[in-house]
A and B are shown apart, each in its own frame.
Chain A
Amino acid sequence: MKILLVAEYRDGQLLGTSSELINFATSMGAESAMFLVGSENKLPSYNGRIYLADSGQAGEFNPDGHKQLLLEVIAKEQPQMVVLPHSSYGWDLAPRVALALKAAQISEVVEVRDGHLVVPACNAKLRRQLKPVTDNCVVTLQGGAFTPSEEPSGTPEVIKVEATAAGAVQFHGYEEAAATGVDLSKADIIVSAGRGIGKPENLEIIENLAKALKGEYGASRPVVDAEWADQSRQVGTTGQTVSPKLYVACGISGAIQHLAGMKKSEFVLAINTDKDAPIGEIADVLAVADLKQLVPILTEKLNAL
């Protein structure tokens, strides 16, 4: 089987998802090649061919242009599978390519089981095993689902592809997120502090854990009420409703308003001294411990990874 990987490049940088694509190809035991609209100066470590179009010519975001280039590469490589990250780039490009190829697209693959692609459904409450009926297919991979244990190595063989900037969509540059205010509703990882932190100074150990996990920190209502944390950090029905991939509840007993605001989290880790705290009901893991002891150790170990 041959797979064409479509790596992602933005604002002059290669995005880390390329290593997941490579790992996916490896785990499928497939031969692979890669397509990238990017720059010669930022190439992934990869033992294979990279079809490289210059983003200066093709434009970093140019759906029609990228689609055309990709179709040309596909025509050359004749892969059975085209793989993209399930990201804003993949969402946009994959269906265009799939339709052009008259191929099935299977989105957000999290696992390959018995050679079949598994995708989540209904907020990860169900999983579907799917099989394309078409000869070829387009696949997008859930971020993080195929993270390699070791970064790939090697130097790619670069094949340049000529590009034009033509397309129906115009791209006018990027806009960075404003620094003020936190939008927890879009955070993938949230570490929240409850009244169990005891005093305002201890909020720092929660913040540190959030940093170690590259997430945001949040707080329960009593912590916000006591003005230990800013209102914008409040998780709950009267604060922000969140749906991160990982929610770490530190010293939060789990008042109903709080639970209702974070119940959509995919994985909940609770750290609480009370084994019977309501948070235990919805936590995937409840570590019965004093957060003031456990969290700093956990943070240290995470930073050491």
Chain B
Amino acid sequence: MKILVCIKQVPDMESKFKVNAAGNWFDETDLAWRMNEYDEYAVEQAVQLKEQNPDAELTVLCIGPERVKETMKKALAMGCDRGYHIADNDSHLKDPFAIASLIAGYAKDQSFDLIFTGMQSQDRGSAQVGVLVAEILGIPSLTTLVEFSYADGTINAKRELEGGTKAKVSCATPALVTCQLGLNTPRYPTLPNIMKAKKKELLSVPVEELNPPALLIETLQVAPPEKKGGGLILEGDPAELADQLIKILKEKTTALA
């Protein structure tokens, strides 16, 4: 059995974000990097599947500059067998289709039985890449999973819908699944596994060798959102305050939708 898990390195969402000089993404100064949270669920589920099928071979794939190798090492420490790094200093300028094409380009000759991805990334949140990879490869995909099981070539899973409802779904492998918050609790790598991870194969391929497709989306501008009313202090009569608050909630939030 061959398994692929695709991960992304993202800045910690607590970071202070500033727009970069080109005005097309954030400036990287002062950012702390980590594995995209949804991809952690993907890695955990892939590792659990590998543990269930000891002969399985689990590859982790990541696209990005040199620094993403740190995040790949975490995936290796969690239990992936080898890493495939697409070295791309401009990965932040690529759109979901370009990213998905690169992944599919790698996966198409590898005959993976199962591909795991996060359901979206924390920084871009497009929720496209996983499904696009599956569609390019022409394999079924199950999205936003909060439960997963695999036996004899069949995946049984639950998708999370809105309002706490889940949909029970299944499909045959080869297939791709995208992982949602709540699927599992990602493990904390043990020290021996961290040590072992340092010696695992981590192949790095320059993106230029892989013919990335032309972009479908142009970024016109990146900017911080206008102040939501930041730090506004309201005082006064409770009834008036209540009216003011309702007005603010209507204008600045989606709570009263």
Contacts and interface: CB of A to CB of B under 8 A. Distances in A.
Interface of A: 10-11, 61, 63-64, 86-89, 91-92, 94-96, 98-100, 103-108, 116, 119-134, 140, 142-145, 147, 168-177, 183, 185-186, 188-189, 213, 215, 245-246, 263-264, 266-267, 269, 275, 280, 283-290, 293-294, 297-298, 301-302, 305
A246 B253 contact: yes
Contacts of A99: 97, 132, 135-136
B238 A133 contact: no
B131 A92 contact: yes
A253 to B, nearest CB: 15
Nearest to B155: A169
22 contacts: A61-B159, A87-B161, A91-B120, A91-B127, A92-B144, A95-B135, A99-B132, A103-B216, A121-B123, A121-B222, A127-B223, A129-B221, A131-B218, A133-B217, A169-B170, A172-B168, A173-B168, A175-B158, A246-B253, A263-B14, A298-B242, A302-B246
Contacts of A172: 168-170
Contacts of B252: 267, 284
A245 B254 contact: yes
A84 B216 CA distance: 19
Contacts of B59: none
B128 A105 contact: yes
B222 A284 contact: no
Contacts of B136: 99
Given A124-B225, A169-B170, 18 more contacts: A10-B161, A63-B141, A88-B160, A92-B143, A100-B135, A104-B217, A126-B223, A128-B222, A172-B169, A176-B165, A246-B254, A267-B252, A269-B248, A284-B252, A285-B245, A285-B248, A294-B242, A305-B256
A286 to B, nearest CB: 5
B220 A116 contact: yes
A108 B126 contact: yes
B13 A129 contact: no
Given A144-B254, A176-B164, A267-B228, A125 B13 contact: yes
A131 B143 CA distance: 26
Nearest to B11: A122
B238 A297 contact: yes
B225 A127 contact: yes
Contacts of A128: 219, 221-222
